[in-house]
Amino acid sequence: MFGNFEFSNPEFFWLLLALPVAIAWYIWKRKKQTAPVKISSLKGFKTGSSILPRLRPLLFILRLATMALIITALARPRNVEVSTKTKTTRGIDIVIAIDVSASMLAKDLRPNRLSALKTVAAKFINGRPNDRIGIVEYAGESFTKTPITSDKSIVLSALKSVEYNNIIEGGTAIGMGLATGVNRLKDSKALSKVIILMTDGENNAGQIDPRIAAELAQEFGIKVYTIGMGTNGMALSPVAVNANSTFVYDNVKVTIDEELLEEIASTTGGQYFRATNTEKLKEIYDEIDKLEKTDVEEFKYTNYEEKYRPLILLAGLLLLMELLLKYTVFRSFV
């Protein structure tokens, strides 16, 4: 209830120490005000039953209350309401280019490379509320799953639906995937443009050389972070398809063209990472998240509601009441 209540000048409360002094002075002075009269008998004097003399300290109480209210008003009681508004001053446009070839179903990342990637990427997307993000799929060819958008529900829905299918031509067209990402970002007005390109193999399909695509990204000011997906050595990977459309798995040597991925990253000012397991993939996305920060400016607005005015009015009312009583009802006793 009082969480937003404060006193702007609480040092004035030290003046309240004057009240006990005033009370002590009043008691001492009151004894001096009435001179003692000694008489042998009260016979012949008419006595009354008026209680006004006993109520005379009421004037002093009113004055003390007036002083206390004025001191409290000087301390400036007020309610404080603070509101904040954030403004994104440097937005980032990001395209996530995902290899969806059959080898991405290898089980060296749990439950497989593609599923692990989708889980980690979803967390990354949720952590970028001020950026626009798009998704590109590629295997032997590439296409835009969703253009860059600030609507995270659309991006997450598109990411969830990413999966291997035999409709896309087989192979790994790294150059095509990168070029499609560049095409999504080349007209962007964002101050920072980023592609996160993930693959678990070598460029063996497509009509665009990955190095040419990297040069295009550099020309348009696009930074590319490349991620090689797969453990070192052998991985349980799909090698054939059964009659019931399920995959036959066998241990296959993991071959990633790391030299190419490093060159793409170096050409565009990005970095190359190797995700040998799910935990490493999480660390890589966390690192990219730290490297690519959106500048957010926060404005704070403070509204003060002053509460001293009613105290001043009440103090004035008590002072006026004291004066009226002093010069009317208690006039004969003051």
Let me know whether 117 and 246 are in one domain: yes
Let me know whether 196 and 235 are in one domain: yes
d(CA 138, CA 99): 5
d(CA 239, CA 251): 9
Residue 298 tokens read as 């926060």
Let me know whether 266 and 223 are in one domain: yes
Burial class (CB in 10 A: 0-12, 13-18, 19+), 89: exposed
Summarised one tens digit per residue, pLDDT across range 182-208 is: 999 999 988 899 999 999 999 999 999
Let me know whether 94 and 127 are in one domain: yes
Mean predicted lDDT score pLDDT of the chain: 87
Summarised one tens digit per residue, pLDDT across range 201-254 is: 999 999 999 999 999 999 999 999 999 999 989 999 999 888 888 889 999 999
Let me know whether 325 and 256 are in one domain: no
Domain membership of residue 321 as a residue range: 52-66+307-334
Cβ(143)–Cβ(106) below 8 Å: no
CB-based contacts of 129, cutoff 8 Å, min separation 6 = 152
Burial class (CB in 10 A: 0-12, 13-18, 19+), 39: exposed
- 97: domain CATH number? 3.40.50.410
Let me know whether 62 and 154 are in one domain: no
**Which of 45-49, 233-237, 278-282, 296-300 bottoms out in mean pLDDT, i.e. has the lowest?**
45-49
Structural domain contains residue 200: yes
Task: Band the pLDDT of 137: cuts 50, 70, 90.
Answer: very high
Let me know whether 189 and 322 are in one domain: no
Let me know whether 261 and 145 are in one domain: yes
User: In the chain, where does DSSP find H-type helix?
Assistant: 18-33, 52-55, 57-74, 113-126, 152-160, 174-185, 210-219, 258-268, 278-291, 308-327
Let me know whether 236 and 333 are in one domain: no
